[in-house]
Structures are given as C-alpha cells and as structure tokens.
Amino acid sequence: MKIACIGAGYVGGPTMAMIALKCPEFVVTVLDINEARIAAWNSDELPIYEPGLFEVVKACRGRNLFFSSDAAKHVKEADVVFVSVNTPTKTRGIGAGKAADLSYWESAARMIASVSTSSKIIVEKSTVPVKTAAAIEKVLARNTSNPDVRFEILSNPEFLAEGTAVKDLEAPDRVLVGGKDTPSGQRAISVLRGIYEHWVPCERVISSNLWSAELSKLAANAFLAQRISSINSISALCEETGADVRQVSDAIGMDSRIGSKFLNASVGFGGSCFQKDILNLVYICESQGLSQVAEYWNQVVLMNDWQKTRFVDRVISAMFNTINNKKIAVLGFAFKKDTSDTRETPAIDVCKGLIDDGGLLSIYDPKVREEQVMKDLLTPKFQWDHPKTSETEFNKHLPVSVVGDAYEACKDSHGICVLTEWDEFRGLDYKRVFESMSKPAFVFDGRDLLDHAELRKIGFVVYALGKPLDPFMTRG
C-alpha cells in the first residue's frame, strides 16, 4: 500500500512517521509545497520539535518514509491520501474572525482530482467544520476527468497534544474513523482501521458517521479549553479572596466525576487548535440559528483573552503603574513546554500588552527561535496560519531582544514574567538572578511553576497567578 499525506506540519509529519514506523510494509510519503520545510524533514534538524520525534523519523526515513515536494507524482501513485493542510480562521468576508478558511483544503482536493488515475481513499486529517466532507466530495467529483475514478472520503481527526505527540500517537486514547454507511464507505473504514490496528488495540479504534467524526474534534477541543477557562476564572476569585487556586483545583480534581486534568490555572491557553476550533464552533452554531449555544462557547474565548489582559494589568500595576523604559524578562514563549510551537501562545498577547505600556522585553525560550518570536509579535491576529502574509510587516522595530540564556534575559531587568512551564526555569539560581536585577525585583509567575516562598526569602516581590497576593501588591 502507498500512503501520501498533503501537509508536512505538526500533524502530518509526526502522524505519517508513526504509521511508517509501525507499518514497515507500507510506503509513506509526506508532501508539502514549502521546499524549505521538506528539506528540514530530510535533515538532522526537523522543522518542529517534539520529544522522541527525531528518533522515529530517523528509523524510517529513506526506508519507507519519504518527504517530497512533488505532490502530483506521489498523490497519483497513492492508495490512501491524508490531507493535513491549514484550516485557518477567515480574515475577511463572511464569517471573518470565526469561520474556518477551507481554501487550502479545496486546492488540495482539486489537485488530487486532477492527477488521479485510480480510485482513492481521502482522509480528512485537518480540523474541519461539520459537512466539509460533502463539499470536498463535490469538488473531487466535478474535477475528475476519468469516470472510473472514485473517491471515498473519511474523517480521521487528530487528538494529539503537543509536547507528547509521539506518545499520543504510539498509545492513543482512541482513534476515530468516520465514514459513510454504504458498502464502499464501510470498506474504506476497514482499510483505515487496518492501518491503525497494526499497533492500536482494536477496541480503541472506533467508527462513526462522517458528521459525528468531524464534530467530535471541535467538541473535544472546546471541552478542554472550557476547563482551562473555568479554572482561570476561579484563579481571579482566589486572588481577591485569599484562596489558593492550586488547593481548589486539587480538591475538585479528586472528584471522580470531574478529574484532575486541565485544571492548572495559567496565563491562558494557546496552540493551533483551541481558539480556532471554538470560534469555528461558534460560527457553525450561529449559522444554524443556535445563538445561545454560540454565546456559551464564545465566552470560553473571551475568558481566555481576559486572563491574558488581567496578567498584563497585574504586572503594570505592581510596578508602580508604569513599565515605560523598564526591562522585563520573559521566560518562555512557546504555548506549552516540550514544544517549539508558538501558534496562539498567550505570550504573544502578554508581550504586546507589555510593549504597549513601554516595556523593553528580553525574551528567552529554549526551543523558539528569534525570527519566530519577532514574526509572531508583528503578525496581525488570525494571520499566523496564512502563509501568504506580507513580509513587509516584519520590518517594524520592536523594543524586544531575544536571547539565548535565561540569566542574560533577567540581567538588569525590573521584573520576570514566566509564560511557559519549561522545567529548566525551576532550576535557575534565583539568588544569582536577584542580584543581577533592579530593585525591587518582581517575579510574575503565569504558570504556577516556581517556589514562591523561596523566592520571597531571597527578596523578590512575587505575583503567583491564582494565589493570595503579596502584601507589596495589595491595594490600599
């Protein structure tokens, strides 16, 4: 069997690498129009960072795993074609700011139809709105010149968590395959199930109809983000009442009906999916006349935005209501630890808020490159996932330096903002850091990562999100 995947990003690359590892009899080719990205996949410095990913790629690459920009050739030869292209939020026209932009998916479908000389299974791997399969089926049917070529569309949403993607692929909670309840649809489902069942227990590979599978991905991300916004709302109340959000989350997390996952208060959620998928869900609900449902889910996003704004306000108010010309160290820029992904990271909005008040930022992240930080800070909202964004915007000057060492970031700073929960930040010599800073020296822990009592002993003024406020910071 030959498998092709259109899209060599955070989903397509790791997923295909795992399939190649577990199914050595299959030939798997990952495709992308971005030749620099393909070159990186073929090098020793992969375009994305995930623990364990390089080892998986290295074990298969050149044997039954290939990376290529020749999409037409490999799609034509493939039996199964996964499509894992961007589905960003629309920035103009109907649904701008909420609806998913399916132009990349449509382009992929047109290309598949134009080069195919044999029937194929087309697998939706991108996160898409409900009923996308029906639209794509029409595009495929109307752009195929050979009447003997048939396409069977399946929905196979990914449920990976960045930072643990390799583990999630190797031992998934479930694999969902959605298809039509027709003989050809059921045969296609069996083929895709057979691929995954090379290593996933059959009881964890579940089937549904197409629309349930498409909606399940949006609903899963909405539920996860809702939990984060819920505990973040409680973190604000904890600060005002003297409660400790960690103790509250531990208490409610011990309830077996609730569970402890996704109950860590933070400066906000990020990543490529949560906000985009919720806004997509909101738009779908509005389109179906379900205004109350739309408002309910939109509040999850609004709470997330407010949490980031609240954090910036705490920083500014604590530092005597101005950070103009004050150096602020930012520790962490990725949206979570163990990944280089900065898409929708809360650090973007926090940094922009600090810059707007005149702060001079010194940013350190162990896995995020300087050019990515600067691009993120200069890219307009919702434009990050649109590859054709004009590069002219990136020539603007920002009061930002990106450094290669946490101690350098902190030297001569007035305050430290911890925005990503990298383990290395726990192990810093904070006495050394304190001695190098302007006084009073502030720490604003947006991830509840550090030993706040020890920091206060050293002499820091500490703001710990969701914890009783430092007396230095209380009003009045």
The 10s digit of each residue's pLDDT in 1-60 is 999 999 999 999 999 999 999 999 999 999 999 999 999 999 999 999 999 999 999 999
Q: Are 300 and 225 in contact (CB under 8 A)?
A: yes
| In the predicted structure, residue 460 carries a pLDDT above the cut 80 | yes
CA distances from 1 to 10, 28, 71, 116, 195 (A): 24, 9, 17, 16, 10
Q: Tell me the C-alpha distance between 66 and 242, whole Å.
A: 56
Q: Are 338 and 368 in contact (CB under 8 A)?
A: no
Question: Which residue type, as a one-letter code, is found at position 153?
Answer: I
The pLDDT value given to residue 60: 98
Stated length of the chain:
476
Predicted confidence band of residue 381 (pLDDT cuts 50, 70, 90):
confident
| In the predicted structure, residue 379 carries a pLDDT above the cut 50 | yes
At which residue do the structure tokens 């933070």 appear? Answer: 266
Question: Which residue type, as a one-letter code, is found at position 317?
Answer: S
Closest CA to 177 of 141, 150, 202: 202
Q: Are 123 and 156 in contact (CB under 8 A)?
A: yes
Closest CA to 177 of 152, 140, 145: 152
What's the half-sphere exposure (Cβ side, CA atoms, 13 Å) at 45? 3
Catalytic residues: 273
pLDDT in tens, 399-427: 999 999 999 999 999 999 999 999 999 99
Q: Can you tell me the mean pLDDT for 120-124?
A: 97
The pLDDT value given to residue 392: 44
Q: Are 463 and 473 in contact (CB under 8 A)?
A: yes
Rounded to two decimals, what is the model's pTM? 0.90
pLDDT in tens, 126-178: 888 888 888 899 999 999 888 899 999 999 999 988 889 999 999 999 999 99
The pLDDT value given to residue 475: 60
pLDDT in tens, 327-350: 999 999 999 999 899 999 999 999
Predicted confidence band of residue 88 (pLDDT cuts 50, 70, 90):
confident
| In the predicted structure, residue 476 carries a pLDDT above the cut 60 | no
Q: Which residue has the higher pLDDT, 394 or 472?
A: 472
CA distances from 116 to 66, 326, 363 (A): 20, 60, 48
Q: Can you tell me the mean pLDDT for 227-253?
A: 97
The pLDDT value given to residue 128: 84
